[in-house]
Amino acid sequence: MDLNAYKAAEKAMTTTLGKRPIPTRSGGSIPIISGFERILGIKSILMGFGLQSDAIHAPNENYPLDNFFKGIETIPYFYEYFTEMENK
């Protein structure tokens, strides 16, 4: 949580969602992430916009469009904030 990328993601999500995100350690089922970190030598930040109620991979899986659009709105803020932090 000390990484500039995490701080930028947190600030971007706070900007668009109006609340600070709760950090969780997940993504273990995304094998490419460990490869990115090993080969590129940098940490990865995953930003999720789904909810537990989305029932991912279940027969009644769903994903609210509002979450989708909030994700689209958040990503440019992440790049803006990350660039600002890296250029200090």
**Domain boundary assignment for the chain:** 4-86
pTM of the model: 0.84
- What is the gyration radius of the CA atoms in the chain, in angstroms? 14
Contact 81, 75 (CB under 8 A): no
Note the pLDDT of residue 24. Answer: 81
pLDDT in tens, 56-81: 889 999 999 999 999 999 999 999 99
pLDDT band at 8 (very low <50, low <70, confident <90, very high): very high
pLDDT in tens, 14-68: 999 999 998 887 656 688 888 889 999 988 888 989 888 998 889 999 999 999 9
